[in-house]
Amino acid sequence: MGLSEVPARLRSGGRHDGAVGPVGNGGATPNITRIRVQVEGVVQGVGFRPFAYLLATRLGVSGFAVNDGCGVVIEAEGESGALARFRDALVREAPPLAVIERIRTKTMSRRGSRGFAIAP
């Protein structure tokens, strides 16, 4: 399934007004960003999307992961520090059978996603 075929409900998640309460940051608005990560190599059939899901859940990152013709595409949204840790961990903690040949990251517009989904 290509990225253009991902159902809109998975691409955009829920919408929200962006209000952030005082959750560990004194009420300050966090720097929320969205990235698209294209992971190429042996990343299909090795548990990479479930791994990305668990990692995103652990780091409080929302978005989705989907297979495409080149590997796995992940769109992730969250606090910029969490996204940096997410992207680094994708390589550092990848499933044992995964072989990452190339990883590209692109900044995108925020969509207000909530939760993380594994697209079929």
**Residues shown for the chain:** 120
Out of 11, 67, 92, 111, which one is annotated catalytic? 67
- Residue 49: which region, alpha, beta or left (left: phi > 0; alpha: psi -120 to 50)? alpha
Q: Which of 49, 58, 87, 92 is labelled catalytic?
A: 49
Tokens at 89, concatenated = 């961990």
104 included as an active-site residue? no
Amino acid at 60: G
Which phi and psi angles does 116 have, rounded to 5°? -130, 135
How far does CA 65 lie from the centroid of its chain?
Answer: 6
The question of whether 49 is a catalytic residue gets the answer yes
DSSP character for 26?
Answer: T
Residues marked active site are found at: 49, 67
